[in-house]
Structures are given as C-alpha cells and as structure tokens.
Amino acid sequence: MSDFILEMENITKEYPGVKALNNVNLQVERGEIHALVGENGAGKSTLMNVLSGTIPFGQYTGDIKYNGSVCSFSNIKDSEAKGIVIIHQELALIPELTIAENMFLGNERKNQFGKIDWARTYSEAQKQMERVGLKEKSDVLIKDIGTGKQQLVEIAKALSKNVKLLILDEPTSSLNEEDSKMLLDMLLAFKEEGLTSIIITHKLNEVAYCADNITVLRDGSTIETMSNAEHNIDEERIIKGMVGRELTNRFPSREHNVGEEVILEVKDWTVYHPVYTEKCVDNKVSFKVHKGEIVGFSGLQGAGRTELAMSLFGKSYGSHITGHEYINGREVHLKNEKDAIKHGLAYVTEDRKVNGLVLEDSIAWNTTMAKLEKVSQNGIINVQEENKAAEEYKKKMNTKTPSVQQAVGNLSGGNQQKVLLSKWMFAEPDVLILDEPTRGIDVGAKYEIYCIMNDMVAQGKAVVMVSSELPELLGMCDRIYVMNEGSMVAEFDAKEATQEKIMSAILSTDNNRKEKTA
C-alpha cells in the first residue's frame, strides 16, 4: 500500500457547454515528482485550479483527499495553509518590487504593530534564495533579473510558505535547455528532502528525466498513470496516450529541395542594446538563406537570436545597427516594419500574447492586420473580402473555432499560434522568420505548424526558425546556425548535426571566452 499525499477522486468540472474534467483521478505518492501531461485543453490546468482552490469547493464534484482527509478549499489561501502551492506558467511577480518584497507579498514579515520588518524581510528572503541557489541580492528589483532567475524566486517564495506539495505549471516553457536542467535538478534535490511536486509540462524529455510517475490526461479524462521509476519511459508511448493515436513521425517529411539562389543574406550585422547602448547584443553576424530552405538558429537564451531577427525586420529592435542586409541579391535598408513587410519579410514573434496578437479583436481582424491593403480599396475595408480571407486561412491552418468573428483571446494557445501564423502567411512573405513557433503548444498543433513551414518552402520561399528546442531544429531544418553571446559560433548541415555537437559548440565558445578573460 503506497503512501499517498494526495488523492483526487472522480473530479468533474463542467463549464456551460463543456465538460472540462470528467471523472478525473490522480494519485500522488509522498515524496515523488509526478508529471501531468496532455495536449492543450486536456484539463491539466483546470485540475490544478481545482486542487489549489482557484476553482472553489462546490463548483466541482468529486473528492480531494490530502494526507488522507477530504479537503474543501474555497480559495488559494486555504490550500496554501495546508502547504499546497501552485506556480503558474505566467509568473505572478511584480516587476517594480524587490525580490524580497515579492517573496513575502501577502505574507509580509511584520512587527507586533503591523509595520513591515524590513531587516527580517531581506534576511529571510536571502536565506530562501540560498536554498534555491539564486545568487542575487534580495533587494534587487524583479525586472532587473532574467526569466530563469524569476522562476527561482517563485520557487523560493513557495518554500517560504512551508510548501509540502509544489505544483509547477509549465515551469520551463520560457527557459533555455541549461536553465531548464538546473531547475529540474533542483526539484530532484528537493525531492531528496521530502518535497512532493506535480509538474505540468509539454517537454517529454523533461518528464522522462525527472518524473517518478506520469499521468496522462486527454479531453478531460485520465488516460493512464505510468511508472517512470527506471527513467526509461518511451516518449512515443506518452505521445500516443496524449493524442490518442500513434504519431509515427513527429516531424512531417518533406523533400529537401534547396535552391541555388540566395534569398536573404546578412553580412557583419552588429546591433547594440536599445537602452544600454554600450552593450553589444549581436556582433558581426553573417548568414545566408536559400530559396526553399529552412534555416534554424540555435543558442541559449540571451544569445542574441531574437535581437538579430527583430533588428533585421525593419530595425524593430536595438540601436546603432550596422551591417548589410541583402534580399534577392540586392542590398536593402529597411527603415521600419512596414518597409520590411513590403520587401517580403515576416517576423512571427516569440510571445504571441504580448507581441503578436490583439487578443480582444476577432480572428478576422488579426488575420488581415499586417496587410489590410489586400482586402481594401482606397483605404476602405471590404468586410466581405476580409471575412472570406480569414475563412480561407482558418481552413488552411485548421484553426479550431466556430467562427472567424470569435475574439482571439478565447482560443487555446495552439490555435492562437495558428492565427498568428495566418496573419503572416496572409502578408505573403518570401522569408518567414519564426521565433519559437511551437512554444507552449501541444504535439498535434506543433505537427500542423511544421506542415505549414514545409508548405512554405515547397513554394520556393524560405523559413528561418529560431528555437530553443534542439529536436525540433534537427527534425525540421536544412541547416542550423549556432549563436552564443551575440556571435555566430557554428554552422551545421542538419544531416550532420546532433544535439551533442550543437551543445558542445555553444559550450566550447563559452569556455574560450572565459579563458581569454582569465
């Protein structure tokens, strides 16, 4: 008989018209790392919201047994009092406050008169930060540290609440491979100290690496729970459970048909940070993209890939930009984004919610946004044409929505990404630059996005893909460039490249640099 810290039994949660959860069962053993996987919309987040009291007792049916007794949480405070802490995918930190202030937000360290005890606040924060290996001072503002470190602050915050059961929703979705591994190793270390964690993630290699048990959800139901005690679980099996079918090939096949003609060429491209203008973010970067080619850009976070892509796209990032940009062999000086679009470039942003879509506007409006001229005459929009175009791209992309009049904010992440792609396909670019195109979306939607990329290159256009997921770069690209700290450090033919080769290219340049400075 196992010792379960948490048993969720027959949890059902209905929204008007949809059953988000249907008799879901989840059993978590004390002191394990339990992975919860499933496609977008499978009900993972809803289940965790039930557990944390975000969806209060009474609005769902079924029982939550925690430490053997049935609980009825009516808000987050209730669940936190019992040691259940949830860290959401979108971090709940306030950028303008210090690490320490954030850590004790709503839980302030104060004296008997209610005045905040700053000395205690900062010293206790420092202690928690040491536990998670965060080397910063506790009076640094959140906005001044990177996403990886912010994630650590969230965990330290959870620890300060005396957490017994830690829930992490997509903790590594915005981290690079190195930071992700560090985070997972830390969870493993905490496991040794007796902490139980539930981790929701799309990254199956992480699941295989750290989870003891894996529960698969699909369409609001539990499919199965499998043991991963040996850490040798078959990724294909998890995928099969998630999508309900065997994805024999995670990457759609395509005929590699790279043309001779260079469609985009960049020489000695140098970009400085827009605010800290003495900081060089891209240093003399040169690369080429051929017609019909998918070119990947690999590197750690902060390698300068997004900055490179954005500065090439009509100088939408950076200052003191120098270098040469050639499109179809002719040098161009793109003044702004509009100019870039006119010259056949498209840049699909990394963060679809912040930089990509107007969430409250309809799918139709978002689709036509980058090239409204296509559905208008003399500055007057032809609504019929616009809707027709949106309808056409909805079909092409297989976007799941009842109507193109639907606000984009109501769609799931994968479908939002498809609308974002629709928008840029509608602009009819020759070179499509994709920045982390599959972040935070499920396996099925990923596959469809890969198919769209293949269609693009089949038409003789070119795709540039910036991605932090090595398997995806290896599976999709013809050539892969590797960047580190603003410089181009390696170039591989995809046939020869391996994850090890790419990582070592990054790490060896790191070492070189350290030796030089030493």
Site residues for another protein per CB under 8 A: 313-314, 316, 336-338, 340-342, 347, 349, 354-361, 365, 369-373, 376, 379-381, 383-384, 387-388, 391, 405, 423
| Minimum CB–partner distance for residue 340 and another protein (Å) | 7
Name the one residue in this structure whose structure tokens are 């902490």: 195
Beta bridge pairs of residue 464: 295, 433
Q: Which is nearer to another protein, 123 or 403 (CB)?
A: 403
Q: Which is nearer to another protein, 66 or 313 (CB)?
A: 313
User: Within 13 Å, how many C-alpha atoms sit on residue 188's CB side?
Assistant: 14
Judged by phi (left if over 0) then psi (alpha if -120 to 50, else beta), residue 27 lies in beta
| Minimum CB–partner distance for residue 404 and another protein (Å) | 9
| Minimum CB–partner distance for residue 302 and another protein (Å) | 20
Long-range contacts, stretch 107-116, CB < 8 angstroms, 24+ apart? 107/160, 107/161
| Minimum CB–partner distance for residue 361 and another protein (Å) | 5
Q: Which is nearer to another protein, 355 or 487 (CB)?
A: 355
Q: Which is nearer to another protein, 63 or 428 (CB)?
A: 428
Q: Which is nearer to another protein, 119 or 380 (CB)?
A: 380
| Minimum CB–partner distance for residue 331 and another protein (Å) | 21
Phi, psi of 339 (to 5 degrees): -60, -45
| Minimum CB–partner distance for residue 357 and another protein (Å) | 6
Query: Both tokens of residue 231?
Result: 């850490």
Q: Which of 214, 282, 292, 213 shows the shortest CA–CA distance to 259? A: 292
Task: End-to-end CA distance of the chain: give it in Å, rounded.
Answer: 57
Q: Which is nearer to another protein, 59 or 162 (CB)?
A: 59
Going across the sheet that includes 431-435, the strands are: 345-348, 431-435, 462-466, 294-298, 479-484, 487-493
| Minimum CB–partner distance for residue 384 and another protein (Å) | 5
Going across the sheet that includes 330-332, the strands are: 280-290, 262-272, 319-327, 330-332
Question: How far from chain centre, in Å, is Cα 180?
Answer: 12
Beta bridge pairs of residue 86: 167
Q: Which is nearer to another protein, 261 or 360 (CB)?
A: 360
